Amino acid sequence: MGQTNRISNLINGEATIDEENPTKKYCGFIRGRDLNPARMVIAEMVGTFMLVYCVCGIIAISEMMGGGGGVGLLEYAVTGGLSIIVVIFSIGPISGAHVNPSITFAFAILGQFPWSRVPFYIVAQIVGSIFATYVGKSVYGIQADQVITKPVLHGRKKAFWAELIATFIIMFLAASMSRKAHRVGHISGVVVGVAISLAVLITGPVSGGSLNPARSMGPAIVSGKFDDLWVYVLAPTVGAAAGALLFRGLCIRCHHPRCSPNTSVPNEGGLFAN
C-alpha cells in the first residue's frame, strides 16, 4: 500500500514518510486511513469516464457548430488538457489519477504501483471509456465511430511513432514529478494538463492524439471497428514504458538523493494537506 502512496504524491505534493515513524505512510487528505482497493478502482473508472465523455462532447459540439465533422486541433488539445486537470484534482488523492493503462503499466515498472492491481486498474479504465462512449452517444446524438482514433495523414507507421514519442515525453515528465512531488506541490495537475495539451497538438495531425489505450478502446469496442486499434494500444504502452525505464536509468546513474526511491522528505504540505 505504501508504494501506491508515492503515486498520489504526484497530485498532493506531500511527504511519504514520517520522520518519527519511518514505516508510516501518508496520502493527501486521506492520510492515516488505509486506501480501499475497490475505491481506487472505482475512482479510475469514474476518472476515465470523465475524460472520454469530455472528448465526446467537444467532437459533438464541433459538429453542432458546423465543424463538418472535424474538431479543431486547438479545441481538442485544450479539452484534453483541461479534462486531465479536472480528473487529477478530482480523483488524484484516491487513486493517483492514472486514467490510462500505459501510465499504470509504467508506474508499475518504476516500482511505484503494485503489479497485483494493474489488471484491475486497466479493466476499470476500459469500462469507464466504454460507458462514456455510450453516454456520449445518447446525450449528443453522435455515432461511436465519430470518436474513434485513427491515423490522419500519413498512415499507421507514422501514427505509431507519433503516439509512442508523445507518451514517452508525458511519462518521463510524470516520473520526474513523482520523485520531487514535495517541491512541485499542487501545480503538478496543471503541469500534466499542459503536457497533455502539448502532446495532442504535436500528434493530432498525424495520429489523432489519443496517447491513451483506454481512450481509444472504448469507442472502438462500442463501434465495433478495430482496424487501427493496435496502434493506439501498443504505441502508448511502449512509449510510457520507455519513458519510465529511461528516467529510472538516469536516476540510477546520477546518484542524487532526490532520485532515490527510498528518499524521505519532510512534510511540506500541499493542496490536500490537513
Round to whole Å and give the CA distance between 168 and 130.
25
- Note whether residue 272 is domain-resident: no
Return the exposure string of 25-36: e unless at least 16 CB atoms fall within 10 Å of the residue's CB, then b. bbbbbbbeeebe
Residue whose C-alpha cell reads 503494485 in the numeric block = 114
- Note whether residue 271 is domain-resident: no
What is the number of structural domains in the chain? 1
Answer whether residue 111 shows pLDDT above 80.
yes
- Note whether residue 118 is domain-resident: yes
Q: Picking from 22-26, 112-116, 228-232, which range would have the lowest pLDDT averaged per residue?
A: 22-26
Round to whole Å and give the CA distance between 209 and 129.
16
Round to whole Å and give the CA distance between 72 and 265.
44
CATH number at residue 26: 1.20.1080.10
- Note whether residue 107 is domain-resident: yes
- Note whether residue 194 is domain-resident: yes
Residue 91: band (very low, low, confident or very high) from pLDDT cuts 50, 70, 90: very high
Average pLDDT of the chain is 80
Name, in order, each residue with C-beta under 8 angstroms of 132's C-beta and a sequence gap of 6 or more. Answer: 48, 49, 50, 51, 52, 53, 56, 218
Check residue 184 and give its pLDDT: 62
Encode pLDDT of 194-212 as tens digits: 999 999 999 988 998 999 9
Residue 228: band (very low, low, confident or very high) from pLDDT cuts 50, 70, 90: very high
CB-based burial label for 255 (10 Å; 0-12, 13-18, 19+):
exposed
The Cα angle at residue 225 between residues 221 and 229, in degrees rounded to 5: 80
- Note whether residue 86 is domain-resident: yes
Encode pLDDT of 127-144 as tens digits: 999 999 999 999 998 888
Instruction: Output the DSSP codes for 155-192.
Output: HHHHHHHHHHHHHHHHHHHHHHHHHSHHHHGGGHHHHH
CB-based burial label for 37 (10 Å; 0-12, 13-18, 19+):
middle
Residue 152: band (very low, low, confident or very high) from pLDDT cuts 50, 70, 90: confident
Name, in order, each residue with C-beta under 8 angstroms of 44's C-beta and a sequence gap of 6 or more. Answer: 91, 95, 98, 99, 121, 124, 125, 128
Instruction: Output the DSSP codes for 10-25.
Output: HHH---SS-SS-TT--
Which residue segment(s) compose the domain that 40 sits in? 2-259
Round to whole Å and give the CA distance between 192 and 190.
5
- Note whether residue 47 is domain-resident: yes
Are 121 and 255 contacting, i.e. CB atoms less than 8 angstroms apart?
A: no
- Note whether residue 266 is domain-resident: no
The length of the chain, given as a count of residues:
274
